[in-house]
Structure 1
Amino acid sequence: MITYPHMKKTATIGVTAPSSGVDPELHQIVKDAVARLEEKGYSFQIGETTWTQHKAKAAPALTRAEELNQMMTNDEVEVIIPPWGGELLIEILEHLDFESMKTKWILGYSDVSLLLLTVTLQTGIATAHGTNLVDLRGEACDPTTAMWEQALSTESGGEVIQYSSEKYQMEWDHANPSPHVFHLTEKTEWKTTTGERVEIEGRLLGGCVDVIHHLVGTPYGDVATFRRRFIEEEPVVWYFENCEMTTTDLKRSLLQMKLAGWFEECAGILFGRSAANTPVEGYTAEDMYQELAHELGIPIVYDIDCGHVPPQLTLINGAYAKVETENGQGKVTQWFK
Structure 2
Amino acid sequence: MRRRTVLGGLGALTAQFAASPAWPRLHDKPPRLREGDTVALVSPASAADAEEGVGRAEYYIRGMGLVPKTGANAAGSFGYLAGTDAQRAADINAAYADPEVRAVFAVRGGWGGARILPLLDWDTIRANPKLLIGFSDVTALHLAFAKQAGFSTIHGPNGTGSWRKESWESLWRLAFAADTPVLGGMDVETVTERPARTVTGGRATGRLLGGNLTVLSTLMGTGWLPDFTDAILFLEDVNEAEYRVDRMFQQLRLAGVLDGLAGVVFGQCSRCATQDPDYAGFTVDQLVDQYLGPLGIPAVTGFDTGHIANQLSLPSGAAVELDADARTIRLLEPIVA
Q: What do residues 295-319 of structure 1 show as CA deviations (whole Å, max 9, x unaligned)? A: 4332321111111022211211221
Query: Given the alignment of the two structures, is residue 163 of structure 1 paired with residue 184 of structure 2, yes or no?
Result: yes
Deviations 1:190-230 (A, max 9, x none): 11225xx5433211001101111111111212526xx6xxx
Q: Hey, what's the Cα distance between the residues in 1 that align with 2:104 and 2:258?
A: 29
CA distance in 1, matches of 2:132, 2:169: 16
1:8 aligns with 2:33: yes
TM-score by length of 1: 0.81
The answer to whether residue 279 in structure 2 is matched with residue 268 in structure 1 is no
RMSD over aligned CA atoms reads 2.5
The answer (yes or no) to whether the contact 2:166–2:312 under 8 Å persists in 1 is no
**C-alpha separation between the residues in 1 aligned to 2:186 and 2:170?**
11
Give the distance between the partners of 1:299 and 1:7, measured in 2 at CA: 31
> Residue 165 of structure 1 contacts residue 188 of structure 1 at CA under 8 Å; is this kept in 2?
no
The 5 A counterparts of 1:80-91 are 80-91=104-115
The aligned counterpart of 1:176 is none
- Residue 74 (1) aligns with residue 103 (2): no
Deviation at 1:104, TM superposition (A): 0.4
Pair 1:17-2:47 in alignment = no
Provide the C-alpha distance between the structure 2 equivalents of 1:312 and 1:145, rounded to a whole number of angstroms: 9
Pair 1:36–1:252, CA change in 2 (3 A) = closer
Q: How does 1:1-337 map to 2 (within 5 A)?
A: 1-3=25-27, 4-9=29-34, 10-24=36-50, 27-28=51-52, 30-101=54-125, 102-135=128-161, 141-155=164-178, 159-164=180-185, 187-194=193-200, 197-223=201-227, 235-278=230-273, 281-326=280-325, 330-336=327-333
Long gaps (5+) in structure 1: 169-183, 228-234
Aligned-pair CA distance for 1:291: 1.2
Q: Taking every aligned residue pair, what percent have the same amino acid on both sides?
A: 24
> Could you say what secondary structure the match of 1:304 adopts?
coil
On the 8 A contact 1:246/1:277 being kept in 2, the answer is yes
CA distance in 2, matches of 1:88, 1:260: 24
Give the alignment's TM-score, normalised by structure 2: 0.81
- What is aligned with 2:8? none
Secondary structure in 2 matching 1:221: coil
Q: Distance in 1 between matches of 2:74 and 2:320?
A: 33
Q: Secondary structure at the match of 1:203?
A: strand
Q: Unpaired runs of 5+ in structure 2?
A: 1-24
Q: Distance in 1 between matches of 2:287 and 2:117?
A: 31
How far residue 32 of structure 1 moved from its aligned partner, in angstroms, is 4.1
Confirm or deny: 8 A CA contact 2:103 2:131 kept in the other structure.
Answer: yes
Q: Does the Cα contact within 8 Å between 1:164 and 1:188 map onto a contact in 2?
A: no
